[in-house]
Amino acid sequence: MRKAIKDAFPHTLPVLTGYLFICFAYGLLMSAEGFSVLTTMIFSIFGYSGTCQFAAVPYLKENIDIVSFSIMIMILNSRHIFYGIALLGKYRDVGSYKPLLIYTLSDETFSLVYSKTPSPSIKKRDFFLAISLLDYIYWQLGTLIGAVTGQIIKFDTRGIEFVLTALFLLIFTGQLEKKSTRSSSLIGFVSSVICLIIFGKDDFMLPAMIVIFLVLTLIRFWRYEWKKIHY
C-alpha cells in the first residue's frame, strides 16, 4: 500500500488543493453557525459530500424534517448511481476493498479512478484504494483546520460556499484539456445546461444525469455497431 500511495499521490494533488479550500470554508461556515468542532467533524466524516454538507447547514440550524432532508440528500447524490454503473468493470476484482471504495467515492475520486492507471508494479485495487483514502483524508483535514480556525477567529462567511463550484470548474477545465475526455465533458456540460433551462436550478441534477447517461450509452453503442459493420 505504501507503493500504491506513493504512486497515487501525484494524481491527487489537484484534489488536495481543492478539498483543503472547500472544507476549510465548510469548517468556517459551521463554526459561524455555532456548531462545535466535534459536531462539524462527525457530520463531515459520515456525510462526506460537499454539496450535501453545505446544503444541510440550514437544516441543522432548525428542527430537521428528516423526510424532506433525506429526499434532498438522495436527489443531490443520485449521480452516484451513474458513477457506480461506470465503475462496475474497474471495481469487479477489488475484493474486500469494495465497501470502503464505495463509501469513499466522491466526484473527484471518481474522475481520478476512472481516468488514471497505476504503474505496472502496482495492483489496480491498491491504487484505487490509495486514491480514495487520500482524497478522504484531505477532506477531513480541511474540515478540521476550518472548524478549529473558525472557533479562534471570526469570519464573514457570505459567499464562501462558492469554493465548491470553483473546484468543479477546475476539474471540468482539466477534462477539456485532454482529448480523450473532451467530448464526454462537453456532452455533460451541454446536457446540464439544457436541463437547467428546462427544469430549473432546484430540479435539474437528476434529469441531467439521466440524459448524460443515455447520450453516452447511445454513442458507445453506435461506435460498437459501426466497428462491427466496417471491421
Cα–Cα distance, 143 to 30 (Å, whole number): 10
Tell me: pLDDT of 221 over 90.
Answer: no
* pLDDT of the residue at 169: 75
- Choose the most confident range, by mean pLDDT, from 104-108, 129-133, 154-158, 192-196: 129-133
* pLDDT of the residue at 102: 92
* pLDDT of the residue at 111: 86
Tell me: pLDDT of 149 over 90.
Answer: yes
Q: What residue ranges do the domains of the chain occupy? A: 2-175, 178-231
In percent, the amount of the chain with pLDDT more than 90 equals: 27
How large is the C-alpha radius of gyration of the chain? Answer: 19
Tell me: pLDDT of 143 over 70.
Answer: yes
Cα–Cα distance, 27 to 218 (Å, whole number): 42
| b/e map 66-102, b = 16+ CB within 10 Å | eeeeeebbeebeebbeebeeebeeebeebeeeeeebe
For 46-94, the pLDDT digits (tens) are 988 877 787 777 777 776 667 767 776 776 677 788 788 888 888 988 8
Given pLDDT bands bounded at 50, 70 and 90, which one contains residue 13? very high
For 159-215, the pLDDT digits (tens) are 666 666 666 676 677 777 777 667 877 888 888 889 889 988 777 777 887 888 788
Sequence-distant (≥ 6) Cβ neighbours of residue 193 within 8 angstroms: none
Instruction: Look at 228 and 155; give whichever has higher pLDDT.
Output: 155
Residue 214 burial (C-beta neighbours within 10 Å; 0-12, 13-18, 19+) = exposed
For 22-47, the pLDDT digits (tens) are 889 889 888 888 889 999 999 899 98
Which one, of 59, 98, 104, 46, lies nearest residue 80 by Cα?
104
